[in-house]
Structure formats: structure tokens, C-alpha cells
A and B are shown apart, each in its own frame.
Chain A
């Protein structure tokens, strides 16, 4: 079927779109988020207030936004990819100039009454922009080195700005998320090998320029037991929470590590430790299962899409989602250094919840508009 440049004129009626929404996925998202509500209820010693109720309201609002995003035509998202990226980049620049300082780093920017974390928005818009780029170029071009320069710049600009905040965790997430899109778009193996081969030595070089607290985190990660009451305390307490939970856990609202405040940041970054303390390995594995099903949906939707933008977008966002899960859980288990990455859909916090629901909205939009074919732009 031949179509006009930049997409087709075919539009799908709204009722059909709603019917086509992936309700199984919606249910899974709700189930996973409910695990979060349960843990926040426990964190408040068995109270909805103050965290669980607020998280529910945020989730409900995010769900509405997710549906709007899902029902919006994918061609609109294709067209808006670059402008959105540009806006997010400008906001990151604004953080650099007029950001709010919190926790020793500039991450927030105030727009009217709300505080926005542009690095979170960039996680989506970067994947969108790169997907758009690879949608537009031919298979031959993907293999040509000079055609890889523009998308590398797309990655490098926000990565540099976020690193300056400084936020090493988010920088790595951005780069890794983009890397996933590069990989599935078909960039050759040896180019990845080359990048990784140069990244490791330069990483050692860059280590010299890291902030003291960042260096310390990496060192403590390598040997947390060495300094149990100092900065390694968090990882140690988290491992104790997990380990003492055993197979069946200590019971709901019974976690001693969490309720006696030994576990740090138990509502945000370390919420998985609390879950595994109270519900044991069984609880942890059930959450794994929910996540694996969510990831499987993402893959299925990507494979089902008839347009390349949709494929790359769905898989890129699913990849970022996986990175969140893996880094957070590996971190609380003491497998990777402590970087401030929340557990998706579960950790307390508005911005990451919203970001994730928009991502799922986009993935669903790919599903709803799976049969629309979009031509690539000829250069």
C-alpha cells in the first residue's frame, strides 16, 4: 500500500480506539500500582494518610492523562517528537540557569506553581526523538557512520546537562535508554563494542572529576560492610531488611527494619526492601511476575506495530521501564551503586509516576494505531 509522505490520511473513530485500548495492560498497571499503595499504607503504620491516599490521587490523575495520550493519533506524536525534545532540552538548560537546589543538586525548575523535573521529561522525549530519527532514515543509512552523528548529538546534549546537575543515575538511564533504541534500530554490533570499549577507560578518567559524594557512593558500593554506620549504612540496612524477610516475610505492617526506621528512604528508593521484608521472597517474586508481564506487553505491542516509529517508541520506552526496575532492585540488593532511581509505579512520588503513565500512554497509542503505516521522510 502506497501512502502519502509523512503518514496516511486514515483516521480511526474514537469509539473504535477506546475498544482497542489494551485493557489487560491497564489492569496490570493498576495491579502493580496497588502493590505500591499497599506498601505506602504499611509505611504509615497501617494508615492511608499521608502517603497512600496521595499516591492514589496522583495515580488516578496520571491514568486519565495516560488515556488521553493513548487515544492521541500516533502521527501527532511523530510530528511532535522533535519539538518536545527541544522544549525538554530548553528546560534542562533552564535548570542549569535558575534551577532549585535540593539534596545538593539542581534538578527542579519552577513553572508557575508547579515544580518540574526536566530530566524526567527528557527520558521520554529523548526516546521519542531518536525513534523519530531512525524511523526517518533508511536501513543503509543506519549503517553509515555519519548518519549516526545527529542522534548521538541528541543524546549527548541532555546527558551533559543532567550530568552537570549533577545526577549520575539519570544520565546513565538516558544514555542506556537511547542505547536500546540504537540497538533495536539496527546499529551494528561493533559500533557498540567500540563505544563501550572507549567508555570504560574514559569512565575511569571521568571518575577523577566526580563529586566527592559520587565517588564515595561508588566506593561504598564496592564494599558496603566496611563502613556500616557511615554511608554504607543504607545498603547494609536494606540487605538486612531483605534477608531477614526470609521466604514468607514478617507480615504486613510487621517489618522491623522498616517500621523502626532502620531502613532508609523506605517510601521511595528502598520500597522494594520493605516489600520483601514484609512479604518475603514470595512477595518479591510476585512483583517480578507483574513486571515481567508488563514488559511482555511492551514487547508484544512493539512487534505488533506496523510502523517503525511505533516499534522503536514502544520498545525504547519498555527498555527504559526495564532499566528502572533493574537498577532500583539491583541497588537495594547491593548489586549496583546507590543511584536515586525509584521503583516504577510503586515508589512514592508524583513526577516519576506521571512520567511512567505517559510512557504507558504512548505504548498504548502505538497499540491503538498499530495498523497505521507511516512513510519515512526522504532526505
Chain B
């Protein structure tokens, strides 16, 4: 053991330590170099990645455009929806919080079960909807008790609201959630992917969905690694959807729906000059509000199984034989073809024979001798068998088409039906049979193959009343600042080329139907001077009357079971001397046209005339 050896040991240690220190210094330099590389050379790239991490773009749903009536009254609006949501991480005991909440508002067992299930699946800060569409009283009650309700939060969203409930269901339609099918079929729009976003599912809401929808805004938010939003960085507002003004008059629609009562019926009221649809009614109806929040199975089944078909818009999708309301078309066809004059006379004995077959007039005893105007007034079937045979079905069909029958009128709605106006070639092509004279007889009184919709009948009446101008119905005002509704449309291009004399005799007949001594609807006069109504009744047979029944005495329509009763139709316009409004009414299984449909038509026209000045004044004042 020597000190020298110990010194040698120390020297070796020092040498080795210095080498070690050098190595460590080199490694520290590597770290410093790496720090420089990451924080200086690559800083921009990593800064971008850090921003991508924390920034999240969220879509903001635009406010849906309102749907207004012609006077600016809201038919579809956005209502604040008071909601209760639960945030799990803010409460210690979810079920106790729910217990306390149900002391204040009724929380259903199924809602409760759903909330409890969702709290287990979702992150603690995600709000879980508990209840929607609270009343203001419920909302404020919860608000007052909020200190006792940890985890419960109130929020306000926007939901579509139809303040008139069932009044406009068939026109306006409703909105609903975006389905898988919608995603495939619609134009791509990021809004469609937004949870809870609603699009138009029916009616105007669907037809004008794009312009009502508006465009999405965006909000850039800062979110943490778990997706919780920390704060909003900036926001770009979208643009709300455009408001849409309809031609409908809320007051008239309201009146019409009430007037129809419990019937299964439809009515269309038109401005005969502009084609504005002032009212379009199909009853019974439904409440579109049920659809926006998601309709219950029970309610849905109830609507579907109802024999009066509340879901169908009978005004455009119901196809009925027009019955005697078709007689004006037949008469005009014959007059225009020159096969008869207004003075053409036929002797009615109550029936006419065709080979071995007997075609009956509605009046068993017959009408005796009558000319055209009388034939329309009394709705003599035999007269029209005669002239239909004379003019032939193809001429009738041509005239019917000119009046808008047998084709779609392209109203801005879905589900419009075209009806059916038969011709010889149609029968050959579709049924593979030759046209028979008897077929012409049936067409002459609006039966047989003929089918029309209430809208078509209203358009037909309007075209008669305005002196033969082919107005088209419209539901939406052209644009917000466009022409006032009294502006006459270009008369020349719309003129149907009917002779004044022919039209006069037919319209005269329609005047007599209501105002004549023998008129079929003489009980449905408008008594106000200057407002006189002209019209035509029609009965559509639902069931053929058998020979046996005829012999044993035909039961009156009202004595038969509801399902077997005839449809009652009435078309009319007023005032006779200065026509303004046309109406078509059909009451399904209503029985007597003159007793059921005609008074409704009269009341609707009277109401339209009555509120007309009011409407004008309100517009002028505004």
C-alpha cells in the first residue's frame, strides 16, 4: 500500500471524470440543439398543429324564415323552446336531482330512464336533454328553485311553431329531422349534419326549404382534449332564411275551417283575376306542431286510421267525379263546336234510352221542355246526355283541359293530382275498349271516368267567372315588393278565346241555379245586394244505384250509411255582376249538394267579400 498508488488512483479518476464530463457536455449540447430545432426551426409547423388541436369550428344553425299570410300574419314562426338539460359532473347524485326536478314539473318515467342511460354513456360535461317545450310557468318555477337542483340547467333554443295548429297543416306542412334518405337525396349542406337540425318535410316548408333554411354561421371555439368548449374565439353569423308570404288569408282560412265543422271536406277560394289562393281547406286536419317535436305512435296511428284521412290534402290530392259541376264545360264545348245554340231545346221525360239501356235524369218525372239556361238552372241530366252525344267526348275533353281540368296546376305543393278527363284514345289505350255513346252520356253529367280535384274545380270556376281568362292558381306571392294583388295579369296571353255569348248563357244558367225560381240551390242565395252569387251544384255517386233499388224506391242519400252517401259538390263565384272570388266545395259523403255544399260555398264567398274591404284598409293603413 503506497501513497503513490493512491495518487495514481486519483489521477486516473480525474482523467476518466473529465472524459465523462466531456461526454455529458456533448449530450447536453444535443438537447440544446434539439430544443433549437423544435422551438425555432420547426416552431411554425408546431404552432399550427397546436392551433389545430385546440380550435374547433362549430356550425350555427340559421333562423328559419317565417311563413306569413298575405297580410303578414305569422303562419309558421320560430318559438323559443324552453328546455331543461342535465350536466352530470355538476351533481353528485343524478337520481336525486331528477327526483327534485319531478317535484316541480312532471318528468315521465321514460324520460327519466333515458336520462339515466345517457349519463352513463356520455362525458360528464355533455348536457343531456331532460325535457323540452316547457311552459313559461314551468320554466320560471325551475329557475326559482335552481339552487336546489345541482346539475340542472335551463336553456332556450328555437323550434318551429305553427300558431294556428291544424289550420294550415296541409298548405304549410311541417319540419322534421334529417333522415338518412334526405342526406342522400338533398343538395349537400353541412347544416344537414348538425344534430337536431330540422328541414321541411311537407308542404310549403318542403317546397321552399332552401330559401327558408338560410345559411349556416360558424363559431370558432377553443376546446380541450376531451372536447369541452373552453371559450369562443370568434363567430361569423350566418344569414337567416327568407320570409315567405303566402296568398292565403288567415281570417278566411280560419272561417272556412270552422264553417266546415266535423265534415270530411275540402274547399278552395280563389281570386279570379290573379289566381291567388285565398284559402285552401282540407278537413279534418292535424297539428303540424306534433311533427316538429316528433309525433307519438298513438297519435300517428290515430291519424292514419281515421276514415276521414286527415293526413291527405283533399283539396289537391282528392279526386272526385265532378258530377253536374262539369255541365258548364259540356255546354261550352257544345256551344263552341257549334252543335247547339243557347236556344237548343230538349224534352226531358226523366230518362233517355240508348238501345236497351235507360239513362235516368235525377228528377224521376222529368223536366219537360227546356233550353240551355234552364237546363243548367235545374241541372237536367237528359239535356246534357243529348248535347254530350252531339258534341262528342273529345271536344268536351278539349274544353275541360282549357279550364284546367285533367292536368296538374303546378301549385307549389307536393302530392297534387291531375284528375282524369277521358278521351276516345285514352279509353282505347288504357282500357283497351272502344268508346261507347253511353260513355259520352256519363261524361255529359260529370260521371263515369271523369275525375277532378277541388282545386281544379275552383280554377274552372274562376276561368268561367273572369270571362274566360286562363288564370293559374298561386300560393306564394311573387316577391315581397312585387305587384299588388289587384293588378290584372296580361289579359291577352290568358284569353281562352271563348265567345262572349256562349259564356253569357252558361253564366246566366249558373246565376239561376242560385237565384232562379227553379234553381237547384235556390236556398243558398246571397241576399246582400250587389253580392249575388252564381254557382252550380254537383253530386258524385259513390255507389251505383241498381235497377232493383230503383224499382223498390231509391233511398235518399241521407238515409244511407255515411260511407255510401254521395259526395256533395258546389262551385260558385260572386259577385255576379262584378266577379271577384270563386270557390269550390266538396263534402265527402255529404249527400245533398244544394243543402250541404251550396250553403258552405255561399258562406265562404260572403265572408271573403265581407273581409275584403277590411283587408284592403289594413293594407292601406300599413
Contacts and interface: CB of A to CB of B under 8 A. Distances in A.
A319 B10 contact: no
A134 to B, nearest CB: 9
Contacts of B225: 260-262
A132 to B, nearest CB: 15
A12 B30 CA distance: 43
Interface centre among A243, A246, A260, A375 (most CB of B within 10 A): A243
Contacts of A245: 39, 43
A240 B49 CA distance: 7
A346 to B, nearest CB: 15
A262 B16 contact: no
Nearest to B41: A243
A256 B50 contact: yes
Contact of A260 (B13, B16, B224): B224
B21 interface: yes
A333 B40 contact: no
B32 A285 contact: yes
A243 B16 contact: no
Given A292-B28, A312-B13, A139 B8 contact: yes
Contacts of A138: 1, 5
B88 to A, nearest CB: 18
B35 interface: yes
A83 interface: no
A375 B1 contact: yes
A280 B16 CA distance: 35
A186 interface: yes
Interface in A229-252: 237, 239-247
A84 interface: no
B31 interface: yes
A291 B21 CA distance: 13
A247 B40 contact: yes
B222 interface: yes
Interface string B37-53: 01110110111011101
Nearest to B39: A281
B226 interface: yes
Contact of A333 (B24, B35, B47, B51): B35
A139 B32 contact: no
Nearest to B48: A244
A315 interface: yes
Nearest to B45: A243
B234 to A, nearest CB: 16
Interface stretch (A19-27, A213-221, A322-330): A322-330
A329 B17 contact: no
Interface string B2-26: 0001101110111011001100100
A255 B460 CA distance: 75
B34 interface: yes
A51 interface: no
A186 B6 CA distance: 13
B223 interface: yes
A284 B53 contact: no
Using C-beta atoms within 8 Å of the partner chain, give the interface range for chain B: 35 or more
A295 B24 contact: yes
B278 to A, nearest CB: 59
Interface in A281-319: 281, 284-285, 288, 291-292, 295, 299, 302-303, 308, 311-312, 315, 319
A320 to B, nearest CB: 12
B297 interface: no
Nearest to B27: A326
A262 B54 contact: yes
Contacts of B10: 308, 311
B230 interface: yes
A184 interface: yes
Contacts, number: 136
A245 B53 CA distance: 14
A185 interface: yes
A315 B17 contact: yes
A250 to B, nearest CB: 9
B362 interface: no
Contacts of B197: none
A311 B230 CA distance: 54
Given A244-B46, A281-B35, A376-B1, A261 B224 contact: yes
B36 interface: yes
Contact of B53 (A256, A299, A308, A322): A256
Contacts of B35: 242, 276, 281, 284-285, 288, 333
A117 interface: no
A246 B47 contact: yes
B223 to A, nearest CB: 7
A277 to B, nearest CB: 8
B54 A256 contact: yes
B12 A186 contact: yes
B31 A330 contact: yes
A299 B54 CA distance: 45
A308 B13 contact: yes
B377 to A, nearest CB: 84
Contacts of B50: 240-241, 243-244, 256-257, 262
Interface string A74-101: 0000000000000000000000000000
A2 to B, nearest CB: 9
A139 B53 contact: no
A299 B230 CA distance: 48
A139 B12 contact: yes
A281 B41 CA distance: 12
B69 to A, nearest CB: 51
Nearest to A378: B1
Given A241-B50, A243-B38, A257-B50, A186 B9 contact: yes
B28 A242 contact: no
A207 interface: no
Contacts of B40: 246-247, 281
Nearest to A242: B38
A315 B39 contact: no
A180 interface: yes
A239 B37 CA distance: 11
A184 B53 contact: no
B30 A335 contact: yes
Contacts of B224: 259-262
Nearest to A282: B39
Given A139-B8, A242-B39, A243-B38, A257 B53 contact: yes
Contact of B24 (A261, A302, A322, A378): A322
Interface string B225-253: 11000100000000000000000000000
Nearest to B12: A186
Contacts of A247: 39-40, 43
B17 A299 contact: yes
Contacts of A257: 50, 53-54
A243 B47 contact: yes
A246 B5 contact: no
A243 B17 contact: no
B486 to A, nearest CB: 64
Interface in B572-596: none
Contact of A308 (B6, B20, B24, B28): B6
A184 B230 CA distance: 54
A22 to B, nearest CB: 18
A257 B38 CA distance: 15
Interface in A24-75: none
A185 B28 contact: no
The 8 closest A-B pairs by CB, nearest first: A243-B46, A244-B50, A260-B224, A261-B225, A281-B39, A184-B16, A244-B47, A186-B12
9 contacts: A186-B16, A240-B49, A245-B43, A257-B54, A261-B224, A262-B54, A262-B225, A333-B34, A335-B34
Given A257-B50, A288-B31, 20 more contacts: A184-B17, A186-B9, A240-B46, A243-B42, A243-B43, A243-B50, A260-B53, A261-B224, A261-B226, A262-B54, A262-B224, A276-B35, A280-B39, A281-B40, A288-B28, A303-B14, A322-B24, A326-B31, A333-B38, A335-B34
